[in-house]
Amino acid sequence: ITLRFTITDSSHYHIVHCLDDTEAGLQFFTDGMLLVKDGKVIELGPAENIRAQLSADSLIIDHGEHLICPGLIDCHVHFPQLDVIASYGAQLLDWLETYTFPSEARYGDPEIAQADANFFIDELLRNGTTTALVFASVHPTSVDAIFTAAQQRNMRLAAGKVLMDRNCPANLQDTPASAYHDSRELIEKWHHQDRLLYAITPRFAVTSSDAQLAAAGQLAEEFPDTLIHTHLSENLDEVAWITELFPHARSYLDVYAQHGLLRERSVFAHCIHLHEEDYQEFAQHGGGMAFCPSSNLFLGSGLFDLKKAHAYGVNVGLGTDVGGGTSFSLLQTINAAYKVLQMQKQSLHSAEALYLATLGGAKTLGIDDKVGNFLSGKEADFIILDNTPTPLLARRLAQAHTHKDALFMHMILGDDRSISETYILGERVYKKGTVSS
Ligand code: GUN
Ligand code: FE
């Protein structure tokens, strides 16, 4: 066994992470070190304490004035929608018909799927995203492609085959039986291989029959530690259609709950147009929400109520929702989240924003024992935030009075240019300015 150490060090050296979602839970080290061995965090602390633990073969990496932060977690993103991003002029249901379904139809081709999976994963890493919960397409080959790309880079990533057997083009439909068998095979092939996790992925209740939702529920029962990943209450026309399709359900959420799809590690993207009882059901059954502000603005879907989700103790993470969303950057997504919350007279301080993009996301995906911050024993996925990525951000950071102000500036003015390096399990997989990771 080779022992690999990656240690970061400097005389005034910055590290930030969250212990919880409060301002008090934001830990900032101005002279800190992160001690990593065999891909795991050994310890984070003041440099003088850590230095005492170093051995002769320790590798010390000095990131100077730049900020070290846990890898960002994208709780909702579509890999076969790379070529849908920035499509003009439609809201959800038209957007799906016009742009999204035609794009996803190409992913039955294993060569296209593999090439685009590699591009997609590299784009995540270039944006500082080290973990994501990913929609593939209806084709099992698209799931093989995304897991292969993630596994080659040692990433912790969850994904699943989309299930849809109605209200979409015939060439994109599966059936309840094929959905069950294909998902089952993919679970047996990929779930818990290295750092990969399978997510049972009915697209949304519009495109899954009762029989197919029942099949998804059966899988969820047979494989209780998989994730479940779907869309919920994003757009008012969608919600109205659900009422027609499921006249006996109490609500949209109830359609999923009745099929056993609301449980721990169920992740619902959007959750905008909910009833009070829905929040109660979330609180009781433990499902999480992916807040996708850039998508919600781009598609004109509505404003996510973070305050209410928190009041009910529901786990919330951030999703870019590319291609409905307009950026792979979770910094840009925080920027959009801040504005969505401002429109509702809610606030989002920098500690809570960092929490949503790291530990909150990890909790939502049920992997907060593995990633999300720098507690001892966690997997060492982290990023280096450049403090001079653009002239404007450099100028504003030089004026910051507090660490929290500086962090807020990174979030509002930052994007992919802010990510100078990305590390997976203590190994650098991306460095800004190099063509390939
Ligand atoms: N609802 C059902 N499918 C989709 C999708 O691909 N993107 C978004 N944003 N919402 C959906
Ligand atoms: Fe989505």
Burial 22-51 (b: 16+ CB within 10 A, else e): eeebbbbbeebbbbbbebebbbbbebeebe
24 CA → ligand 1 middle, Å: 36
Atom of ligand 1 lying closest to residue 207 CA: 2
d(CA 121, CA 322): 13
Question: Is the CB of 265 inside a 6 Å radius of any atom of ligand 1?
Answer: no
Overall residue count recorded for the chain in this entry: 437
Atom of ligand 1 lying closest to residue 295 CA: 9
Would you list the DSSP string of 375-414?
-TTSB--EEEE-S-SSHHHHHHHHH--SHHHHHHHHHHH-
296: pLDDT strictly greater than 50: yes
Average pLDDT of 10-14? Answer: 58
Is-above-0.90 flag for pTM? yes
pLDDT in tens, 80-94: 999 999 999 999 999
Cα of first residue to Cα of last residue in the chain, in angstroms, is 25
CATH of the domain spanning 5-70+372-431: 2.30.40.10
Question: Is the CB of 229 inside a 6 Å radius of any atom of ligand 1?
Answer: no
Q: Residue 435: its pLDDT value, please?
A: 65
340 CA → ligand 2 middle, Å: 18
Same fold yes or no, 5-70+372-431 and 72-364: no
Average pLDDT of 404-428? Answer: 96
pLDDT in tens, 146-161: 999 999 999 999 999 9
Q: Residue 2: its pLDDT value, please?
A: 42
Q: Residue 1: its pLDDT value, please?
A: 39
Mean pLDDT for the chain? 95
9: pLDDT strictly greater than 50: no
Question: Is the CB of 76 inside a 6 Å radius of any atom of ligand 1?
Answer: no
pLDDT in tens, 332-382: 999 999 999 999 999 999 999 999 999 999 999 999 999 999 999 999 999
Q: Residue 57: its pLDDT value, please?
A: 78
Q: Residue 49: its pLDDT value, please?
A: 87
CATH 3.40.630.10 fits 72-364, yes or no: no
432 CA → ligand 2 middle, Å: 28
Between 12 and 411, the more confident residue is 411
Question: Is the CB of 259 inside a 6 Å radius of any atom of ligand 1?
Answer: no
Residue 437: pLDDT band (50, 70, 90) is: very low
Question: Is the CB of 17 inside a 6 Å radius of any atom of ligand 1?
Answer: no
Atom of ligand 1 lying closest to residue 321 CA: 9
305: pLDDT strictly greater than 90: yes
Q: Count Cβ atoms below 10 Å from residue 158 Cβ, excluding itself.
A: 27
119: pLDDT strictly greater than 70: yes
399 CA → ligand 1 middle, Å: 41
Enumerate the domain spans of the chain: 5-70+372-431, 72-364
**72 has which bridge partners?**
129
3: pLDDT strictly greater than 80: no
Q: Residue 374: its pLDDT value, please?
A: 97
